Amino acid sequence: MDDSEYTRAKRRRARNLKLWLAFLLAPPAAILIIFVFLPMASAVVYSLYDWNGLVRKEFIGLDNFADILFNPNKNVILFNAFGNNVKVFVTLMIVQNGIALVLALLLARNPRGFRFYQVVFFLPVILSTVIIGFQWKMFLNPIFGLVNKALHYAGLSEWALPWLGLPETALPSMLLVNSWHWFGFPTLVFLAAIHRIPKDFIEAARLDGASEWRIAREIIWPLIAPAVTIIVVLTFIGSFNWFEIPYIMNGLEGSPQGSTDMLGLLFYRTAFGSVSAGGSDFGSGSALAVLMFIFIFIFSIIATKYLTSREVEMS
Amino acid sequence: MKNHLTKAVIAATALSIAAPAFAQTELSFWSWRQEDVAAYGEIIAAFEAENPEISVTYTAHEAKAYNTILTTALAGGSGPDIIHTRAYGSLENISSAGYLEPLDGQVDLSLLSADELLGTTLRADGHVYAVPFASQTVVVYYNMDIFDAQGITAPDTWDEFLAVSQQLKDAGITPLANGTADGWTVEIMSGAFMPNFYGSEFFGDVTSGATTFEDPRYVTALGKMAELAPFMPVGFEGVDYATMKALFNSGAAAMFVGGSWEINGFREAGVNIGMMPGPSAEAGSERMVATWMDGGYAVNAASENKEAALAFIRFTATTPFAQMLTDKLNNIAAVDGAMSSNPDLQQVANFHSAATPYIMLVAFRFDKPTGSSLLQDGLQQLMTGSKTAEEVAADVTAGIAAAE
Amino acid sequence: MANIELRGVSKQFGDVKVIKNVSLTVEDNEFVVFVGPSGCGKSTLLRLIAGLEDLTKGEIHIDNARIDHLAPAARGLAMVFQSYALYPHFTVAQNMGYALRVAKEDKASIDKKVRAAADILQLTDYLDRKPKALSGGQRQRVAIGRAIVRNPKVFLFDEPLSNLDAKLRVAMRIELTKLHRTLNATMVYVTHDQVEAMTMADKIVVLRDGMVEQIGAPLDLYNAPDNRFVAGFIGSPAMNFFAGKVEGFVEGGIEISLTEGAPLTFPCTGSGLSIGDAVDFGVRPEHFCIGQGADGTLKGEVYAVERLGGETYLYLSSSSQKELVVHMSGDHQVAVGDHVEIGFSIAQSHLFGPDGQSVR
């Protein structure tokens, strides 16, 4: 009798806990299903049909995929955009995250004005991408822009280029803007990771005679691996979904001459059409979206798996 | 034919009059013209005064998102009763999907020319799906104060144009405000200068397939565009539309190649503008302006108030409506019969005596890649000197041949 | 191998003076323990020697050469951290050999030295393991091994045993003492545990509030503490103190009265005290005996007893003293509530003046 009361109480407690968990987890799960998984699933369905603008016509299987991947008239544009996304990823990894790592290493040494730098570095991150895009578009204006004016004043007039107008400089300019916008975020993540490393490790290495560079490379770098994983994967996803900055700064067409074209812009143009590029094609657009999703998903998982394998627990 | 149509319309009208008066019908009317809300309010009021049983609500959406908003609504089976559509390829996108009510036979289109109706006719079935509302024209604006100060008169021929440009440049004034950062502005620029070199026959030849864009006439015209590069702003590759306007409005640049919709903006900025068509190839040869239809008024095929909506559309095809459009919106109405009291508009209207279709928009924006995106890329490369006219012509031709 | 000399060393963090004018010498091959309550500055002092903190004032010399301006690695020291600071991504062997790798020694030589150290510390079987796979004691030994491999002039230990359980701590204490003899090295050891200090040190430095309270051999500190703080800090359980007053002077001593019991005559020379001064009279728990004492007797009621068989602790309260600890060897049949008499002898007691200094 006593025993059954005991087991019943125990079971009741376990059930209450489960109910609570379900109660708390169900709403976000529902939102996720409705606003993420359903649209994704519908994109997959859309991609299997022929579309006339926004009207669905017959089922055509994987023809849309074959068309955007293998039709030589279309895949040059796709591969050009994809190549640009790769450039974005590589550059952001080196420039944006590289600068962030260096700054984090410097900040971790607790310099005078630490708080000030921390706030200043993070400030651009909280600004809206739209504002930053417009602001830098103005700064980079060949005639009225701050950048070229500064170059003129510095006596470097021949360096004053129409930054966003030349295919050679447009993408690098945007990448610098993006780096300027975001570097505070990886800096903060790296800094937090470095702060998590027990001070003793660094001091022990210093006593062992390791140079600051060696400490950074051999002690700090392996021990901030979890932060590196997060940043690499986020940068990867961000790079292949890059849209706002190129859209705001040089428009939907990836001007000039496709040098700033991105998969995201191409998707938008294909699915919804644009004034210059023509009408909307939901089928190809959906197929492109599905391909982008698959690519980003698979590579993110591979990258996460690989990067996580280098992580060590600090204890 | 026309007679039949008129009869049909009259019959239809008679029928509607004979029918018991409409109960109050509310029509929704979507547009991308946010700047025209007040003017449309007045125009609608005039319509409602004549048609007391109908009320129309005008909703203007954000211009860039309008196509998406509209097509999404239409695809979802909703959307407004009356649709302000764009023309050509954009119109084809929704008309071919069956969202629009064919108007021929239901609306008297006698006040519109065949060229004008081209913009709102679906090529596949030959039906007209919208009443064209206004045309746009590419002209060369020039700052008369600067021209006077430099002792320059508006040039007539290409050589004069280059000479004038050189004179302005020597005086430290940027001759042309145009840049190439926004591809569409380069295409506009080509619309001002190229037709006078490739001639009035070329449009028909290239659209019928009798020739391609590698035609020597077109290549020559392209080559002329490259000659303008020295007279464009320093760093023109990065000069976008906003910068172009700023240059011209501030008097830093003396000329601006643009569409007729710029008139109001320049007048409001206080620029003492003059307008001219692009210069003729040589003295005495033809001097044309490129024109196209900006869009039209259409009826949602799924509308529950189709009759009332058609009544409004019929109204848009009348001269009184065209007059209001001219007076209140400074548009060059497509429907005949309106006279503008605005000398600028009247001048642009006068240019139409020698007009040629704005080639890529009118005929090559139906397939992908569009002629516009091909030409825009090509012109950017041509102006920066990374490609020759022949190469650009070949690219455009190949792109259009491959388009589907 | 090396001696260390601190001359007027001071350290300030902002406005806080952590180390105040400390001078001391560590002789060659000496095992010196810095001991004191937490916050006394003992770890800071060690870190100043290591070079992990910069001096505010003063000089540090090793082997008569000034080193306080040198980088930590250039001082020829090795340090064992309280946390062991083993790099989690390195194996035991890599951890132990890191300093040598940094110094670009060749692989074979590194391997030899690591194996030799592993041999001494019985770590040979664990060389390929990561620290995560080791027990606390093994990690401790790896940390020591990392120091040994460098063959330093001086070993610095910062509370190295405080993360181990009691049994292991005793074992490691003995092992470290043995190691000190084997390596014949100068060692400086920081701890807050006076038992560690007493059992391991050749010389103890007692610190309080950034100042040296006393330096000496363990038993010197035990038998002749310089002041009331050292007397209370060294020895476990701590010394019992009784408040007293100077009543008068006699030949070769002073007369004091305690709140309880008969007045005493405490032998001393030149105390500097005057009549009426408040003094503290101290007797260690182990110096009490049950019954009448040779020089004095106190009475109290037992409120707690700890009988461990081999030794017995009594906790008493008397009319004048709330808490009084008595430590006796052997088992004693005393029960809570018993009234007992405890005695002491002057020879095994201590007297501290109003300034806390010993009266001798």
Place C276 in a pLDDT band, splitting at 50, 70 and 90.
Answer: confident
Q: Which of B71, B183, B365 has the CB atom closest to A278's CB atom?
A: B365
Q: Where in chain C is the domain with CATH 3.40.50.300?
A: 4-233
Any A CB within 8 A of B7 CB: no
Interatomic CA distance for residues B328 and B322, integer angstroms: 10
Nearest to C87 among A211, A219, A313 (CB): A219
* Residue B340 forms part of a structural domain: no
Does one domain contain both B129 and B64? Answer: yes
Write out the residue limits of the CATH 2.40.50.140 domain(s) in chain C.
240-352
| Region of poorest pLDDT, from A100-109, B334-343, C66-75, C229-238 | B334-343
Interface contact B187, partner A, CB < 8 A: yes
Q: Which residues of C touch A206 (CB under 8 A)?
A: 52, 71-73
Residue B167 sits in the same domain as residue B274:
yes
- Domains identified in chain B, total number: 2
Contact residues on chain A for C132, CB-CB shorter than 8 A? 312-313, 315
Q: Residue C118 CB: number of other CB atoms within 10 A?
A: 22
Query: CB of B92 within 8 Å of any CB in chain A?
Result: yes
Residue that wins the pLDDT comparison between C17 and B330: C17
**Mean per-residue pLDDT, C182-194:** 92
Query: In angstroms, what is the C-alpha Rg of chain A?
Result: 25
User: What residues does C78 pair with on adjacent strands?
Assistant: C155
Which band of pLDDT confidence, cut at 50, 70 and 90, is reported for residue A2?
A: low
Q: Which one of A42, A49, A52, A54 makes the best mutation probe of the B interface by having the most chain B beta carbons within 10 Å?
A: A54
User: Are A207 and C73 within 8 A, CB to CB?
Assistant: yes
Of A276, A278, A281, the CB nearest to B183: A276
Residues of A in contact with B187 (CB under 8 A): 276
Nearest CA in chain C to A309: C89
**Sheet containing strand C253-258, strands side by side:** C264-267, C253-258, C240-250, C278-283, C349-352
**Phi first, then psi: what are they for B358, rounded to 5°?**
-75, 105
Residues of chain B in contact with residue A161, where contact means CB-CB under 8 angstroms, are 235, 238
Chains that touch B (3 or more CB pairs under 8 A): A
Between CA B116 and CA B135 the distance in angstroms is: 8
Break chain A into its structural domains and give their ranges.
3-46, 72-309
Give the containing element (helix H, strand E) for B196: helix B195-198
Binary contact (A200, C72; C-beta < 8 A): no
| In contact, B89 and B363? CB cutoff 8 Å | no
How far apart are alpha carbons A272 and B304 in whole angstroms? 27
pLDDT digits (tens, 9 = 90+) for A135-144: 999 999 998 9
Tell me, yes or no, whether B72 and B122 share the same domain: yes
Q: Is residue B271 part of a domain?
A: yes
Q: What is the DSSP code (8-state) at residue B169?
A: H
Do chains C and B touch, with touching meaning 3 or more CB–CB pairs less than 8 Å apart? no
**Structure confidence at residue A279 (pLDDT):** 74
Contacting subunits of A (3+ beta carbon pairs below 8 A): B, C
Enumerate residue ranges in chain B where pLDDT < 50.
Answer: 1-2, 5, 8-22
pLDDT mean over A211-226 = 93
B224/B193 Cα distance (integer angstroms): 8
The pair of three-digit structure tokens given for residue C222, joined into one six-digit string: 């035990």
Per-residue pLDDT, averaged over C276-289, amounts to 92
* Residue C79 near chain A (CB below 8 Å): yes
Percent of chain C with pLDDT over 70: 99
Q: Is C76 on the interface with A (CB under 8 A)?
A: no
Which whole-number Å values give the CA distances from B243 to A108, B179, B253, B380, B383, in the listed order?
44, 8, 11, 17, 18
pLDDT above 70 for A54:
no
Q: Which letter does DSSP use for residue C288 in this model?
A: -
Total count of residues recorded for chain A: 315
CA pair distance C149, B241, nearest whole angstrom: 71
CB contact under 8 A, B373 and A54: no
B108 and B174 belong to one structural domain: no
Test mutation, B69, B91, B99, B243, chain A, max A CBs within 10 A: B243
Residues B404 and B123: their CA atoms lie apart, in Å, by 15
| Chain A contact set for B373 (CB, 8 A) | 253, 276-278
The residue that leads in pLDDT, A222 or B353, is A222
* A and B: number of Cβ contacts within 8 A: 137
Cis peptide before A226 (omega within 30 of 0): no
Helices A114-126 and A184-196 pack at an angle, to 10 degrees, of 140
Q: Is C50 at the interface with chain A, CB within 8 A?
A: yes
Buried b (16+ CB within 10 A) or exposed e, B131-165: bbbbbbbbbbbbbbebbeebebebbbbbebbbebb
Q: Which CATH superfamily is domain C240-352 in?
A: Nucleic acid-binding proteins (2.40.50.140)
- C104 interface with A at CB cutoff 8 Å: no
Res C234 pLDDT > 80:
yes
Q: What's the mean per-residue pLDDT of chain A? A: 91
Q: Which pLDDT does position A239 carry in this prediction?
A: 96
- pTM for the structure as a whole: 0.81
Instruction: Count how many residues are written for chain C.
Output: 360
Model ipTM value: 0.83
State how far the Cα of B44 lies from the Cα of B57, in Å rounded to an integer: 8
Query: Which residue of B lies nearest to A148 if distances are taken between CA atoms?
Result: B235
Whether C354 has a pLDDT exceeding 60, the answer reads yes
What's the CA gap between C252 and B252, in Å, rounded? Answer: 109
What is the rounded CA–CA span in Å between residue A40 and residue B139? Answer: 47
How many whole angstroms separate alpha carbon C76 and alpha carbon C150? 9
Q: Which DSSP string do the residues of A221-272 spell out, in sequence order?
A: HHHTHHHHHHHHHHHHHHHHT--HHHHHHHTTTTSSTTTT--HHHHHHHHHH
Query: What range defines the domain where residue B269 resides?
Result: 136-292+349-402
Please give the angle made by the CA atoms of C22, C27 and C33, to the nearest 5 degrees.
60
Q: Identify which of C78, C84, C103 has the shortest CB distance to residue A207.
A: C78
DSSP state of C72: G
- Decide which of B335, B362, B391 is a domain's last residue: B335
Best residue in C77, C101, C102, C138 to probe A by mutation, most A CBs within 10 Å?
Answer: C102
Least CB–CB distance from A312: residue in C88, C102, C103? C88
Cβ count near B252 (within 10 Å): 17
> How does pLDDT run across A162-193, given as a tens digit for each residue?
999 999 999 999 999 999 999 999 999 999 99
Tell me what pLDDT residue A121 has: 93
Closest CA to B319 of B164, B70, B32, B110: B110
Q: Residues C171-198: what's their mean pLDDT?
A: 91
In angstroms, the Cα distances linking A47 to A160, B70, B96 are 45, 21, 20
Question: The tokens of B128 are what?
Answer: 């007209």
CATH of the domain at B229: 3.40.190.10
- The CATH fold assigned to C4-233 is Rossmann fold (3.40.50)
User: What pLDDT score was predicted for residue A4?
Assistant: 81
The answer, yes or no, to whether residue C148 has pLDDT greater than 60, is yes
| Residue listed under structure tokens 């919709």 | B261
Mean pLDDT of chain B: 88
For chain A, give the DSSP string: -HHHHHHHHHHHHHHHHHHHHHHHHHHHHHHHIIIIIHHHHHHHHHHTEEEETTEEEEE-TTHHHHHHHH-HHHHHHHHHHHHHHHHHHHHIIIIIIHHHHHHHHHHTT--TTHHHHHHHHHHHHHS-HHHHHHHHHHHT-TTT-HHHHHHHHTT-GGG---TTTSTTTHHHHHHHHHHHHHTHHHHHHHHHHHHHS-HHHHHHHHHTT--HHHIIIIIIHHHTHHHHHHHHHHHHHHHHT--HHHHHHHTTTTSSTTTT--HHHHHHHHHH-BTTTBS--HHHHHHHHHHHHHHHHHHHHHHHHHHHHT-----
d(CA A220, CA A230): 16
Contacts of A223 in chain C (CB under 8 A): 88-89
Q: Give the fold, CATH level 3, of A72-309.
A: MetI-like fold (1.10.3720)
Nearest-neighbour CA in chain C from A313: distance (Å) = 7
Give the bridge partners for C257, in sequence order. Answer: C245
Phi, psi of C194 (to 5 degrees): -70, -20
Query: How many CB atoms are located within 10 Å of the residue B184 CB?
Result: 18
pLDDT of B224: 95
Q: Which chain A residues contact residue B381 at CB under 8 A?
A: 257
Instruction: Give the residue on C whose Cα is nearest the Cα of A224.
Output: C89
% chain C with pLDDT above 90: 68
Phi-psi region at C122: left, alpha or beta (left = phi > 0; alpha = psi -120 to 50): left
For residues B234 and B363, membership in a common domain is answered with: yes
pLDDT band at A315 (very low <50, low <70, confident <90, very high): low
- Determine contact, residues B333/B318, Cβ cutoff 8 Å: no
